Amino acid sequence: MDRLPVMADVARRAGVSHQTVSRVLNDHPNVKPATRDRVLAAVRELGYRPNAAARNLVTRRTRTLGVISFNTTLYGPASMLYGIEQAARQHEYFVTVAALDALDRRSVLDAVDRLRDQGVEGIIVVAPQNTAVAALANVPPDVALVAVGCGTHTTLPSVAVDNEAGAEQATAYLLDLGHRTVHHLVGPRSWLDAQERESGWRRALEKRGAPVPEPLVAGDWTARTGFEHGRRIASDPDVTAVFCANDHMALGLLRALQQAGHRVPEDISVIGFDDIPEAEYFGPPLTTVRQDFDELGRRALRALIGIIGDPATATPAPAETPYATIQPSLVVRASAARPRA
């Protein structure tokens, strides 16, 4: 066949009507199993690809979702985006991504308008910053929307990792090892992740009646920031344990401590957050808090499908629980130990 096969070719090969092929391709329930198998076999043999635009006109569904994300290579947001894309593929949805330089009100609303113009059925917003949460409050109510990464800070349906629980678990682990207190290298306070991890760290100390040191606040999430604060930490003889708000800052801290002649974990224990792929190859391998970004993507997609109405896969959250949190886990490696005598 010199031309691309069309539906009539499939019908002819399978010995059925054009309408029967259409029912099979649109997963209509009133088709005999034997007939369905015959049509699908003809589709495979001919290499027939349904015309998506034509199907959209019939079903009024584009099976396309929009994702608005912060334009960043940071491991957390990038992994969230990857998890969403993987989940969409499993559910046979296409994803259109709008990567923004800033998650402010104007940028977010412009992205929503652009995605709606492309016919998306719903939108997932990776919203880890205060400005993004504020912007989401202005999205028109007829837009099917799910927020990712902003926890309970929005009234919209949302999915997030329980940062407070992860930070509390990491801090409690260091206290259980016998450290009198735990110092904290905080991420940028405009980020909800940083705020929540700081809250979890503080809560763990207060529960145990441990001293709460003044946290060190970072301007960004980079190893350079960890290194710069690490030089100050290395000069403080009272520091025996540090919880870092992410693994990249922990990497910079490790370098600063080692450069100052401190041994990790013999002199100072260090725990990070994220479990980036390189964490187990740090020197020493980093104890850290792991986030399940694949599950985050799956839960966000299921929540959005529940809103836009796909009965085959929808699992909407109960009305009294408009958000879902995913529990992180502590990964114990070699960077934390009992304090020196």
Task: Provide the pLDDT confidence category of residue 10 given band limits of 50, 70 and 90.
Answer: confident
Q: What angle do CA 247, 87, 137 make, to 5 degrees?
A: 75
* Residue type for position 259: Q
CATH number for 7-59: choose from 1.10.260.40, 3.30.365.10, 1.10.8.10, 2.60.40.10.
Answer: 1.10.260.40
Residue owning tokens 């002199």: 267
- The pLDDT assigned to 87 comes to 85
Q: State whether residue 145 is helix, strand or coil.
A: strand
Q: State whether residue 304 is helix, strand or coil.
A: helix
- The pLDDT assigned to 196 comes to 94
Check pLDDT > 90 for residue 59: no
Contact of 135 with 165, CB cutoff 8 Å = no
CATH topology for 163-291? Rossmann fold (3.40.50)
Per-residue pLDDT, averaged over 299-318, amounts to: 68
* Residues paired with 96 in a beta bridge: 66
The number of residues in the chain equals 341
What is the per-residue pLDDT across 230-283, written as a single tens digit (0 to 9) for each? 999 999 999 999 999 999 999 999 999 999 999 999 999 999 999 999 999 999
Torsional class of 338: left (φ above 0), alpha (ψ -120 to 50), beta (otherwise): beta
- The pLDDT assigned to 176 comes to 98
Residue ranges matching CATH 3.40.50.2300 in the chain: 64-161+293-326, 163-291
- The pLDDT assigned to 151 comes to 66
- The pLDDT assigned to 322 comes to 57
* Residues paired with 338 in a beta bridge: none
- The pLDDT assigned to 50 comes to 66
CATH topology for 64-161+293-326? Rossmann fold (3.40.50)
Residue ranges matching CATH 1.10.260.40 in the chain: 7-59
The number of C-alpha atoms within 13 Å of 87 and in the hemisphere containing its C-beta is 24
Residue owning tokens 């070719």: 9
Check pLDDT > 90 for residue 214: yes
